[in-house]
Amino acid sequence: MDVTISEVGPRDGLQSIERTMSTTLKVAWIRALAASGLREIEVGSFVSPRLLPQMADCGDVVRALHSDTENPPAFDILALVPNLKGAEAAIAAGVTRVSVPISASETHSRRNINRTTDEAIAEFARICAHHREHGGVSECTGVEAGISTAFGCTYEGVVDEDRVIDIAVKLAEAGAESVGLSDTTGYANPAQVKRLFTRLDAEIGERAGGAHFHNTRGQGLANVVAALEAGVRTFDSSQAGLGGCPYAPGASGNIVTEDLVFLLEAMGLDTGIRMDALLAARDVLREALPGEPLYGNVPDAGLPLGFRYAHEAA
């Protein structure tokens, strides 16, 4: 594959809607997503059920995915964790990797995880230390960091790019397997994206991670192209565009997985994902959440006449 798409709908999408999907339906949806060829799926977050009841069964979801021993998961099971307690639970449940959000905005950091950015970085170091001690006897292979509000914040507005890079360096030094950048609030523009990811690569090299964009202001796929030009090869997206941040007002609309797959494949980049199977997973989602708005241009318009996947055109 030329590009990895990391599906975040079961986490970022489901945490952003009021109703709670049952564990059984979550597992069915995740398995349907995996059947499309997705090789990374963020299945939930290990957070307080009081704060996000939609994620209360995350451990049960991970264990259910491992329960079919004859057909073990053929994808990496990712989960978001805000602190060491969450990381301990995620690693014990059997996730492949844990992802830790560190906000570049002090206000967002306090609203999101009730810590300053420096306190969050210190907690991240403790998570990395825990993984070094226990990861070898678990399914977990690494700890990733994602810098939230890297391109702007609904509370503070402009976020200093030097601060973002400084945080990335500190996270890499703390033991991050990779450090990605997240446009939590949909503020990013393509020029900014290319500039910041180019700087990230120059500062931390092979530990420079993927991109997480929202389409809040219609710039999502344009930002993907800009990130590609900067060398990024892993992108988060959410089926049907579900998602947003409960602690960032107005942060609606993750980029749509179906539209992202089409964009990349049409550009000649192999994603390993089949659109027909991805649309079948969308049907599972529609049945699990009747009446929930589902977005996407490609699902509405269909694939163009003569469309060929990248590996077919090679």
Closest by CA to 175, choosing from 142, 199, 197, is 142
Closest by CA to 234, choosing from 258, 214, 212, is 212
Per the listing, tokens 């059920």 go with 49
* Segment 148-162, tens digit of pLDDT: 999 999 999 999 999
Name the architecture of domain 4-313: Alpha-Beta Barrel (3.20)
Q: Which CA distances in Å does 25 have to 43, 280, 303?
A: 12, 14, 28
* Segment 97-142, tens digit of pLDDT: 999 999 999 999 999 889 999 999 999 999 999 999 887 768 889 9
Backbone angles phi and psi of 114, in degrees to 5: 60, 40
User: Looking at residue 253, what is its pLDDT?
Assistant: 81
H or E stretch covering 212: strand 208-212
> Which residues are within 8 A (CB) of 164 and not within 5 positions of it... i.e. 6 or more apart?
104, 147, 150, 181, 196
User: Looking at residue 172, what is its pLDDT?
Assistant: 98
Average pLDDT over residues 272-283: 98
Tell me the C-alpha distance between 245 and 251, whole Å: 6
Please tell me the total number of residues recorded for the chain in this structure: 314
Question: Looking at the annotation, which residues are catalytic?
Answer: 245
H or E stretch covering 211: strand 208-212
Per the rule left: phi > 0, alpha: psi between -120 and 50, beta: everything else, 18 is alpha
What pTM was computed for the model? 0.95
Helices (H), 114-238: 117-134, 161-174, 190-204, 220-229
Whether 276 shows a pLDDT value over 90: the answer reads yes
Tell me the C-alpha distance between 165 and 153, whole Å: 16
Q: Which contacts of 220-223 are long-range, i.e. CB under 8 A and separated by 24 or more positions?
A: 220/186, 220/253, 220/254, 220/255, 221/255, 221/259, 221/260, 221/263, 222/189, 222/190, 223/183, 223/188, 223/189, 223/190, 223/193
Average pLDDT over residues 165-172: 98
* Residue 69 banded pLDDT, cuts 50, 70, 90: confident
H or E stretch covering 23: helix 23-35
Tell me the C-alpha distance between 180 and 144, whole Å: 8
> Which residues are within 8 A (CB) of 172 and not within 5 positions of it... i.e. 6 or more apart?
179, 204, 207
Tell me the C-alpha distance between 21 and 40, whole Å: 20
Of the listed ranges 72-76, 192-196, 244-248, 253-257, the one predicted with least confidence: 244-248
Whether 246 shows a pLDDT value over 80: the answer reads no
Average pLDDT over residues 48-61: 95
Tell me the C-alpha distance between 296 and 78, whole Å: 24
Q: Which CA distances in Å does 83 have to 5, 102, 164, 186, 308?
A: 25, 10, 20, 25, 44
The residue ranges of every structural domain in the chain are 4-313
User: Looking at residue 257, what is its pLDDT?
Assistant: 97
Tell me the C-alpha distance between 3 and 232, whole Å: 9
* Residue 8 banded pLDDT, cuts 50, 70, 90: very high
